[in-house]
Chain A
Amino acid sequence: GQNIDQPTEMTATEGAIVQINCTYQTSGFNGLFWYQQHAGEAPTFLSYNVLDGLEEKGRFSSFLSRSKGYSYLLLKELQMKDSASYLCAVINSNYQLIWGAGTKLIIKP
């Protein structure tokens, strides 16, 4: 089967750094996405990784290791508005998008 695992919920403090992990097992790989979704809203694109390594975009960075089937999303200088669900999704060899269940991130003052 195909599955994507990410923690259900994480808690972090405002101003701190948090890393959200995602491991995947899919039939082939054509890229991995991270999305942010606030409650009641559509997801917002954060990053796309298809090659190994770290991609940095401001306070957010995404890392990929294809050999390990592993990615993480790193959020720095956390702000209260970063409280949201973070979704990991992988494109398999059939160009199907496989979604993780999402990680609910709670930011405390």
Chain B
Amino acid sequence: GAVVSQHPSWVICKSGTSVKIECRSLDFQATTMFWYRQFPKQSLMLMATSNEGSKATYEQGVEKDKFLINHASLTLSTLTVTSAHPEDSSFYICSAGEGANDYNEQFFGPGTRLTVL
């Protein structure tokens, strides 16, 4: 099956710093990748849809200037949390779709646990 990786797996940073999270599709090309956030004991919340070569589409309530998304190639999307604060501490998960219809089956990365002190 298709594999999606994320790096780093976990990160601890000081308040006010920026953190970059990478999402890679290892053995397939993904024109669309999705970024989710999950707080403890809550469901996944879609943050944005990342499209290769164009601007990301953000969900309502997600600050595009705070969560910068760059989908530079068909196998890599990055999420940068700028000026992170403790309330940004969460589990960030990306997913990518394979095939003509990217929703037919999404493959999830293992997630990145961010802790902001």
Contact = CB atoms under 8 A, between A and B. Distances in A.
B93 interface: yes
Contact of A45 (B43, B105, B111): B105
A48 B102 CA distance: 12
B107 interface: yes
Contacts, number: 38
Given A41-B111, A42-B93, A42-B111, A87 B44 contact: yes
A13 to B, nearest CB: 24
B42 interface: yes
Contacts of A99: 43-46
Contact of B46 (A31, A33, A97): A97
Contacts of B54: none
A100 B109 contact: no
B70 interface: no
Contacts of A41: 110-111
Given A42-B111, A97-B34, A48 B44 contact: no
Interface residues of B, number: 17
A91 B103 contact: yes
A52 B93 CA distance: 30
A101 B42 contact: yes
21 contacts: A31-B103, A41-B110, A42-B93, A42-B108, A42-B110, A44-B108, A45-B105, A45-B106, A45-B107, A48-B105, A87-B43, A87-B44, A91-B103, A96-B46, A97-B46, A97-B103, A99-B44, A99-B46, A101-B42, A101-B43, A102-B43
Interface of B: 34, 42-46, 91, 93, 103-111
